[in-house]
Structure 1
């Protein structure tokens, strides 16, 4: 089974703006580089728990693209996708298929770092285009992960105190059917949890990995509240605009991820980072 949340993805038109805004709220940002194919470039916010936030932008945002994140860019960008880490993707794909969810065979990708180091990895994407199911993709490094993910103390220490990702909340149309897909990917039980979050009818949660740690919550919004102007309308508005996907993420400053919930902590200004809903707990 996947061992952890590898990273979350924030997409916007201008990488420089994302970097500046991230630094303004206390994150240390490390230059990433240009991806294979030359369509996108990125910068990374790396954490002590080994996970990271990828800030990514299209080098030519006006140029139409078949990239799986391009359509989301034109809907407004923001928190767009996320990945789970494994050490044998071919075996993981077979296991996910055996658990009842058909996912594609691994495909390779890479990135050239500013220092000239070439990185390679492979991924399997359960949803060809973001918004279809909201399910995470699974990634395996072909070159050492330490080359892909910053890990030095000065790269993983942040003025805002964040030490890692606790969990991700996905907005989905039907929590029951999405629970089946999520359980097939994580290999862990998906159990009903408290639905006290505003605008949510039902919620289920799955751990990521065999040890207590990262979690994923799937939340089914009350679509009747789509026109509400308060917080209760936000999940339904997300579903209407973006489809299924990552609605929010909780970042920890040291608390065990298992002790935190989707509403834990204080939210970063949602006018920043292309509207990404990030909470620091």
Structure 2
């Protein structure tokens, strides 16, 4: 971890899914507004959920298998790690945490020097369209990191080389009242053994918290590493043991009553526990969703 730079902010989360139609239906039933489909030049497609804090969810499918095959063959880390996740875990889940950056080249060097690089940098552009149909081109530069003994999760920084001049306000308004991504929960048998890695990728200290939780505080969110037993005690839900797995997303909402009403109206299974609404993972959702009031 560099002592001179600030912690990297959360940018977005990648959620592999089998079908964007199912993902759109599920996320809409959860009370989210879902953006139009975005097509990558290397075979994957997304339909994002944008939050008003600037973060977003990226449900991801393989839309063009031939292009994806070509991308893997040319060592495109994004597509290769997505494929690895699907082969190991199936078509649904939470595969990656993405940090914001202003210099992906510097991040790549940092990851290489720290021994955590997952492969070559990636530059790409794709069309972007807002809710009104206004279009622009978005360009990105990515730098990747991963742990060799944690094949079910990867991490990267995302430099927005060209930011579309489009209005996202309609896409950031959600019926469930969601305003921000508050935290991401990762399960692993020994959280402390991953401290050095998270300090390198987040450029933030990994600090012990209550009940053996290891917490990485970002400028706009937190990453919590917990063991499966503690996670089940907290949420009532099981989580895989062994390798590091990204299992849950905590959303900050304007009103828990409003969120509760939406979930009930759309017949979404959830548990109301300790001032949180906990929704088990489902097709098109990938991870456990936890809603808490801001």
TM over 0.5: yes
Contact 2:95 2:152 in 1 (8 A): no
How many residues are treated as equivalent by the alignment? 252
Q: 2:17 aligns with which of 12, 17, 24?
A: 12
- Verify: 1:271 aligned to 2:287, yes or no: no
- Verify: 1:69 aligned to 2:97, yes or no: no
Give the superposition deviation at 1:81: 1.4
Q: Look up the match of 1:206.
A: 216
Question: Aligned partners of 1:25, 1:89: CA distance in 2, in Å?
Answer: 34
Are residues 222 and 21 of structure 1, via their aligned partners in 2, closer, same or farther at CA, if it must alter by over 3 Å?
Answer: closer
Are residues 216 and 192 of structure 1, via their aligned partners in 2, closer, same or farther at CA, if it must alter by over 3 Å?
Answer: same
Question: Aligned partners of 2:275, 2:98: CA distance in 1, in Å?
Answer: 22
- Verify: 1:172 aligned to 2:177, yes or no: no
Q: Look up the match of 1:86.
A: 101
Give the superposition deviation at 1:251: 0.7
- Verify: 1:57 aligned to 2:49, yes or no: no
Q: 3-state DSSP class of the match of 1:28?
A: coil
Question: Aligned partners of 1:126, 1:133: CA distance in 2, in Å?
Answer: 12
Give the superposition deviation at 1:194: 1.7
Give the alignment's TM-score, normalised by structure 2: 0.74
Give the superposition deviation at 1:64: 8.2
- Verify: 1:143 aligned to 2:151, yes or no: no
- Verify: 1:26 aligned to 2:22, yes or no: no
Contact 2:44 2:68 in 1 (8 A): no
Structure 1 residue runs of 4+, over 4 Å off?
60-65, 95-98, 128-131
What runs of 5+ residues in structure 2 fail to find an aligned partner?
1-5, 73-78, 256-273
Question: Aligned partners of 1:233, 1:32: CA distance in 2, in Å?
Answer: 31
Give the superposition deviation at 1:34: 0.8
Give the alignment's TM-score, normalised by structure 1: 0.77
Contact 2:128 2:137 in 1 (8 A): yes
Question: Aligned partners of 2:280, 2:249: CA distance in 1, in Å?
Answer: 13
Are residues 130 and 35 of structure 1, via their aligned partners in 2, closer, same or farther at CA, if it must alter by over 3 Å?
Answer: farther
Question: Aligned partners of 2:45, 2:135: CA distance in 1, in Å?
Answer: 14
Q: Look up the match of 1:46.
A: 50
What runs of 5+ residues in structure 1 fail to find an aligned partner?
196-201, 256-262
Q: 3-state DSSP class of the match of 1:10?
A: strand
Residue by residue, what CA displacement relative to the aligned partner does 1:183-230 show, whole Å, maximum 9, x if unpaired?
1122222111122xxxxxx32001113xxx31111123359x9xx9xx
Q: 3-state DSSP class of the match of 2:36?
A: strand
Contact 1:249 1:278 in 2 (8 A): yes
Q: 3-state DSSP class of the match of 1:251?
A: strand
Residue by residue, what CA displacement relative to the aligned partner does 1:88-121 show, whole Å, maximum 9, x if unpaired?
12223344556x4442453212323356633221
Question: Aligned partners of 1:128, 1:270: CA distance in 2, in Å?
Answer: 25
Q: 3-state DSSP class of the match of 2:48?
A: strand
- Verify: 1:112 aligned to 2:108, yes or no: no
Question: Aligned partners of 1:62, 1:78: CA distance in 2, in Å?
Answer: 23
Q: Look up the match of 2:40.
A: 35
Question: Aligned partners of 1:118, 1:129: CA distance in 2, in Å?
Answer: 34
Question: Aligned partners of 1:155, 1:29: CA distance in 2, in Å?
Answer: 7
Are residues 50 and 190 of structure 1, via their aligned partners in 2, closer, same or farther at CA, if it must alter by over 3 Å?
Answer: same
